Amino acid sequence: MARHGGRGWYGRVVAAAVGVTAVAAATSVWTAQAGQTDGGSGAAGAGARPAQKPAHVSETIAHSSDGGAHAVNITIDDGPDPVWTPQVLRLLRDNGVKATFCMVGGQAEAHPDLVKQVVAAGHRLCDHTVSHDTTMDKKSESYQSQQIVDAERQITKASGGVRPMYYRAPGGAFTPYSRHLAASHGMRPLGWNVDSKDFERPGSDAIITTVKTELSNGPTILFHDAGGDRSQTVVALRTLLPWLKQQGYSFGFPVR
128 labelled catalytic: no
The answer to whether the bond into 112 is cis (omega within 30° of 0) is no
Catalytic residue among 63, 111, 123, 224: 224
3-state DSSP call for residue 250? strand
Do 153 and 129 form a contact (C-beta atoms < 8 A)?
Answer: no
111 labelled catalytic: no
3-state DSSP call for residue 89? helix
Buried b / exposed e across 168-197, counting CB within 10 Å, b at 16+? bbbbbbbeeebbebbbebbbbbbbbbbbbb
Buried b / exposed e across 120-156, counting CB within 10 Å, b at 16+? bbebbbbbbbbebbbebbeeeeeebeebbbbbbbbbb
Q: Give the per-residue SS3 of 95-109.
A: CCCCEEEEECHHHHH
Do 165 and 124 form a contact (C-beta atoms < 8 A)?
Answer: yes
CA distance 119 to 245: 23
Catalytic residue among 77, 78, 198, 225: 77
CA distance 211 to 106: 29
223 DSSP 8-state letter:
E
| Residue (of 90, 81, 79, 80) closest to 238 by Cα position | 90
Enumerate the active-site residues: 77, 224
